[in-house]
Amino acid sequence: MGVMNTSHLRPPLRSPRITAPAIALASALGLATLSACAAGDDTDRSPKAADGKLDVVASFYPMEYLAKEIGGDHVTVTGLTKPGQEPHDLELRPRQVASLKKAGAILYLKGLQPAVDDAIKQSGNKNVADAASFTSLKPHGTEVDGHHHEDEHSHHGHHHAHGHVHGGDDPHIWLDPAKYAEVAKGVNNTLAKADPAHREIFRKNTDLLVKKLEDLDKKFADGLRNRASDTFITTHAAFGYLAERYGLTEEAISGIDPVSEPSAARIVELHKLAKEHHVGTVFFETIASPATAKTLAGDLGLRTDVLDPLEGITDKSKGNDYIEVMNSNLTALQRALGTSTP
Q: At 305, which CATH number? A: 3.40.50.1980
Neighbours of 303 (CB within 10 A): 11
Number of domains comprising the chain: 2
Same domain, 121 and 80: yes
**Residue at 157 is within a domain:** no
Length of the chain: 342
* Residues 70 and 198 occupy one common structural domain: yes
Residues 167 and 142: beta-carbon distance below 8 Å: yes
The CA dihedral of 51, 56, 57, 58, to the nearest 10 degrees, is -130
In a domain, 149, yes or no: no
Q: What is the pLDDT, as a whole number, of residue 145?
A: 28
Q: Are residues 325 and 198 in the same domain?
A: no
List of residues 6+ apart from 138 with CB closer than 8 A: 151, 153, 154, 159, 169, 170, 240, 241
Q: Same structural domain for residues 206 and 228? A: no
Instruction: Give this prediction's pTM.
Output: 0.78
Residues 330 and 227 occupy one common structural domain: yes
User: Residue 81 has what pLDDT?
Assistant: 97
The pLDDT tens digits for 217-237 are 999 999 999 999 999 999 888
Q: What gap in Å lies between CA 233 and CA 251, rounded to an integer?
A: 5
**pLDDT one-digit tens code per residue, 147-191:** 333 333 333 334 333 333 334 899 999 999 999 999 999 999 999
Do 288 and 211 reside in the same domain of the chain?
no
Are residues 227 and 295 both part of a single domain?
yes
Quick check: 41 and 102 in contact, CB under 8 A? no
Strand partners, 251: 233
Pair (209, 234) in one structural domain: no
Residues of the chain with pLDDT under 50: 1-46, 142-167, 342
Note down the domain range covering 316: 223-337
Q: Is the Cβ–Cβ distance between 141 and 150 less than 8 Å?
A: yes
> Is residue 117 within 8 Å of 73, Cβ to Cβ?
no
Say whether 139 sits in a helix, a strand or coil: strand
Q: Which burial class, exposed, middle or buried, applies to 197 when counting CB atoms under 10 A from its CB (0-12, 13-18, 19+)?
A: exposed
42 inside domain: no
Domain identity same for 307 and 186: no
Q: What is the DSSP letter of 123?
A: H
Q: Is 336 buried (19+), middle (13-18) or exposed (0-12) by CB count in 10 A?
A: buried
My answer on whether 240 and 209 are in the same domain is no
Domain boundary among 161, 190, 215: 215
56 closest CA partner among 65, 213, 179: 65
